[in-house]
């Protein structure tokens, strides 16, 4: 088994609650390369606890301390959940944080967050409605952010339409 597959296995077992930080740290000792550090950041952000999600959110959104590569991995890990309720506390925080992130981060870092942390896994009408409210409040000179948010919104709206089309008439 090559190292990339080992990391994928570790991340999957972490997200499923079968491994924790100690095993991530042990794997990082085996593979303390740039690739290994990225994989460890993903796996750490995937730990399925409220505390781990809060720490990941803080490092990605609040402090902005991560490099482009580590942030991208942490964003991916943060969204890697079996229990979507772990993401619910961050939906409103996301919409509150986005304007400051876009104003204060490079375009690449901001885009990773705007697209990667969008609450798309919370596939509800409330997510679409909150996105619409966010879009309605955007200044006219926010074309790049508007485009990203419209694309984010479209994915959730499309999933809701598909879900509605899948309901059999006697199930409605």
For the stretch 110-139, pLDDT in tens is 999 999 999 999 999 999 999 999 999 999
Contacts of 128 by beta carbon, 8 Å cutoff, 6+ apart: 153, 156, 157, 160
| Boundaries of every domain in the chain | 1-83, 87-172
pLDDT band (50, 70, 90) for residue 96: very high
How high is the pLDDT of residue 1? 86
Give residue-wise pLDDT tens across range 22-34.
Answer: 999 999 999 999 9
User: Could you report the per-residue pLDDT of 42-64, keeping only the tens digit for each?
Assistant: 999 999 999 999 999 999 999 99
Say whether pLDDT at 172 is over 70. no
- CA gap 132, 86 in Å, rounded: 23
The structure tokens listed for 85 are 């309720």
- Residues 79, 116 contacting (CB under 8 angstroms): yes
- Distance separating alpha carbons of residues 20 and 13, to the nearest angstrom: 8
Mean pLDDT of the chain: 95
Contact predicate 78/111, CB 8 Å? no
- Residue 40's pLDDT band (cuts 50, 70, 90): very high
118: nearest Cα among 157, 67, 166: 157
Average pLDDT over residues 143-168: 92
Please state whether the predicted TM-score (pTM) of the whole model is above 0.85: yes
Closest of 50, 24, 42 to residue 112, by C-alpha? 42
**105 touches 52 (CB < 8 A):** no
Percent of the chain with pLDDT over 70: 97
Alpha carbon distance 121, 127 (integer Å): 9
């Amino acid at each position: 088994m090559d190292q990339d597959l080992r990391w994928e296995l570790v991340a999957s077992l972490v997200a499923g609650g079968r491994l924790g930080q100690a095993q991530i740290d042990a794997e990082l000792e085996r593979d303390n390369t740039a690739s290994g550090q990225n994989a460890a950041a993903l796996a750490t952000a995937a730990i399925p606890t409220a505390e781990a999600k809060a720490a990941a959110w803080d490092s990605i959104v609040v402090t902005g301390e991560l490099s482009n590569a580590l942030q991208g991995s942490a964003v991916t890990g943060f969204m890697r959940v079996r229990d979507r309720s772990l993401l619910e506390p961050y939906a409103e925080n996301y919409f509150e944080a986005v304007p400051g992130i876009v104003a204060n981060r490079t375009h690449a870092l901001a885009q990773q967050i705007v697209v990667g942390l969008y609450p798309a896994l919370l596939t509800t009408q409330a997510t679409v409605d909150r996105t619409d409210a966010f879009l309605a409040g955007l200044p006219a000179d926010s074309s790049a952010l508007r485009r990203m948010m419209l694309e984010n919104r479209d994915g959730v709206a499309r999933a809701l339409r598909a879900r509605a089309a899948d309901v059999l008439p006697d199930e409605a």
